C-alpha cells in the first residue's frame, strides 16, 4: 500500500487592471463632462494617451481636478480600485491645464518583498510566498491557511490593488 503526500494548494497574488472597465469609465466621463452645465465652455476633456495613461485637459486647475473626480466616481461604480491610479498635479500648458493619470499594473519588486514579509511575519507558519516576475504565488498544504493569508492581506492598507487568482 502506497502513502500519498497531501497535495499542495496555491493561489497567485496579482495586480491587474480591467482595461475594458477603465475604457468604459473614460468614455462615460467624457460623455458626462460634455453634457454637464458646470463643464460648458471650460475645454474639459479626457482621453487615452498611450496604453497605460490618461490625459485630462481643462482651462483651470480646479476644472481638471473636477474631471478627475468624475473619472474616479465612474471607476468605483465599475469596481476598479482607485489604487491603480497614479495621478499627477494639473500643469499649465499654453491656455489650458493638463493632468496626466498613469495606471499602475503589476507588483513591483519592492512591493513583492513587502507582501512576502507580511505573509512570513504575520501569516500562518506553513505558508510560502514566492515572487514570480510581477506576481506572487502562495503555497500551503492547508487551504484554510491560504484563506487566512487572503484575509490578512485584504486587511492591510497597501498602495496597490491586489487580486487573488488561480486558487487551487
The rounded distance, in Å, linking the Cα atoms of 147 and 107 is 20
Q: What is the pLDDT of residues 100-134, one digit of tens each?
A: 999 999 999 999 999 999 999 999 999 999 999 99
DSSP state, residue 75:
H
pLDDT of res. 5: 54
Q: What is the mean pLDDT of the chain?
A: 93
**CB distance 15 to 162 below 8 Å:** yes
The bridge status of strand 53-58 relative to strand 85-87 is unpaired
The pTM of this model reads 0.85
* pLDDT-wise least confident of 2-6, 75-79, 147-151: 2-6
Q: What is the pLDDT of residues 1-43, one digit of tens each?
A: 555 555 789 999 999 999 999 999 999 999 999 999 999 999 9
168 band by pLDDT with thresholds 50, 70 and 90:
confident
Sheet strands (E) in 43-162: 45-48, 53-58, 85-87, 91-93, 96-103, 128-132, 135-140
Average pLDDT over residues 88-104: 94
> How would you classify residue 94: left for phi > 0, otherwise alpha for psi between -120 and 50, otherwise beta?
left
Enumerate domains of the chain plus CATH numbers.
9-16+107-165 (3.30.70.860), 19-103 (3.30.70.990)
Amino acid at each position: 500500500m502506497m502513502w500519498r503526500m497531501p497535495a499542495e494548494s496555491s493561489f497567485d497574488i496579482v495586480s491587474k487592471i480591467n482595461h475594458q472597465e477603465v475604457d468604459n469609465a473614460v468614455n462615460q466621463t467624457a460623455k458626462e463632462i460634455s453634457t454637464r452645465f458646470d463643464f460648458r465652455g471650460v475645454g474639459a476633456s479626457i482621453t487615452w494617451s498611450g496604453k497605460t495613461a490618461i490625459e485630462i485637459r481643462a482651462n483651470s486647475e480646479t476644472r481638471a481636478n473636477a474631471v478627475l473626480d468624475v473619472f474616479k466616481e465612474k471607476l468605483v461604480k465599475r469596481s476598479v480600485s482607485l489604487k491603480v491610479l497614479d495621478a499627477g498635479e494639473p500643469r499649465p500648458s499654453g491656455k489650458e491645464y493638463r493632468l496626466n493619470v498613469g495606471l499602475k499594473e503589476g507588483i513591483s519588486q519592492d512591493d513583492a518583498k513587502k507582501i512576502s514579509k507580511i505573509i512570513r511575519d504575520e501569516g500562518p507558519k506553513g505558508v510560502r510566498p514566492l515572487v514570480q516576475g510581477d506576481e506572487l504565488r502562495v503555497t500551503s498544504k492547508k487551504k484554510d491557511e491560504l484563506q487566512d493569508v487572503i484575509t490578512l492581506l485584504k486587511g492591510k492598507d497597501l498602495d496597490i490593488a491586489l487580486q487573488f487568482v488561480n486558487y487551487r
